[in-house]
Amino acid sequence: MKNIVVLVSGGGTNLQALIDAERSGNIIGGKITCVISSNPNAYALERAKNNNIPTRIIPRKNYSDPKAYSMAVLAALDEEHTDLVVLAGFMTILDECVTSKYAYKIINVHPALIPSFCGEGYYGLKVHEAALAYGVKVSGATIHFVNEKADAGAIILQGVVNVENGDTPEVLQRRIMENVEWKLLPKAVSLFCQDRIEIVGGKAYVKQ
Ligand code: GAR
């Protein structure tokens, strides 16, 4: 059984999707053993507590720079005997001290079709604002491994939704969450826990 540690900063609907998937037997070979929040007030912490999942709070604002923060996260991950790290609405970029030690063991959900609308500064609603400002007709979400560059690691799964006339960032965000994020994040986590994601030449492939 792989130990899954989920990192959160906000509402935690993706964490909830993972909890629900685990409860219904759809995370094969893995168990959420800890939730770590960068934000002491994140509602995601309530979701973890309601499901008896141990929590840790490592407030981002207590650390002067990303490296110092990442060192604290790294220590916690090691203490938790982490096999898989899931960034589920985690709004802090992790330094290489974490991404190199946990190479191909950190999965992120990004709310756009990478390589569009991604990288530093693209997070949360800002991503959907940028997609609507550009006028794209489809958007979606990407589940990918995390490396030393923001949103640049190997893509595992992607899913698409249509952009409709009159969409607001909030409406588009919700459509992408419901139709893509909440489905594909648990699916990718389950594939990882079954050792069904293969890396060849820096790219990720799902084994049948
Ligand atoms: C989600 O849409 C997630 O894809 C996005 O923030 C939202 C968090 O929602 N993540 C990023 O933008 C990371 N760059 P949640 O807290 O309800 O899961």
pLDDT tens-digit map of 150-179: 999 999 999 999 999 999 999 999 999 999
Find the helix or strand (DSSP H, E) in which 37 lies.
Answer: strand 30-37
Amino acid at 2: K
Q: What is the mean pLDDT of residues 47-54?
A: 98
Q: Tell how far the Cα of 16 is from the centroid of ligand 1, in angstroms.
A: 12
Q: Tell how far the Cα of 95 is from the centroid of ligand 1, in angstroms.
A: 19
Q: Mean pLDDT for the chain?
A: 98
List residues bridging with 203 in a β-sheet: 200
Q: Tell how far the Cα of 71 is from the centroid of ligand 1, in angstroms.
A: 23
CA 45 to chain centre: 15
Q: Which atom of ligand 1 is nearest to the CA of 42?
A: 16
Q: Which CATH architecture does the domain made up of 2-206 adopt?
A: 3-Layer(aba) Sandwich (3.40)
d(C-alpha 16, C-alpha 94), whole Å: 23
Active-site residue, selected from the candidate residues 81, 110, 128, 144: 110
Domain boundaries along the sequence of the chain:
2-206
SS3 label, residue 44: helix
Residue 105: φ, ψ to 5°: -125, 10
Q: Tell how far the Cα of 188 is from the centroid of ligand 1, in angstroms.
A: 16
Confidence of residue 111 (pLDDT cuts 50, 70, 90): very high
81 is catalytic: no
Indicate which residue's Cα is closest to atom 1 of ligand 1.
89
Q: What is the mean pLDDT of residues 14-41?
A: 98
Q: What is the mean pLDDT of residues 21-31?
A: 98
Q: What is the mean pLDDT of residues 85-105?
A: 97
Indicate which residue's Cα is closest to atom 8 of ligand 1.
89
Is residue 128 within 8 Å of residue 33, measured between CB atoms?
no
Residues with CB under 6 A from ligand 1: 10-14, 44, 88-89, 109-111, 123-124, 127, 173, 177, 181
Query: What does the CA dihedral 173, 138, 187, 199 come to, rounded to 10 degrees?
Result: -120
Q: What is the mean pLDDT of residues 120-130?
A: 97
Classify each residue of 154-169 as buried b or exposed e, where b means 16 or more C-beta atoms within 10 Å of its C-beta. bbbbbbebebeeebeb
Ligand 1 binding pocket mutation candidate from 7, 8, 14, 183 (most atoms within 8 A of CB): 14
Classify each residue of 106-135 as buried b or exposed e, where b means 16 or more C-beta atoms within 10 Å of its C-beta. bbbbbbbbbebbbeeebbeeebbbbbbeee
d(C-alpha 145, C-alpha 154), whole Å: 5
The two three-digit tokens of residue 101, written as one number:
């030690």
Is residue 28 within 8 Å of residue 54, measured between CB atoms?
no
pLDDT, tens only, 30-42:
999 999 999 999 9
SS3 label, residue 20: helix
pLDDT higher than 90, residue 208: no
Find the helix or strand (DSSP H, E) in which 57 lies.
Answer: strand 55-57
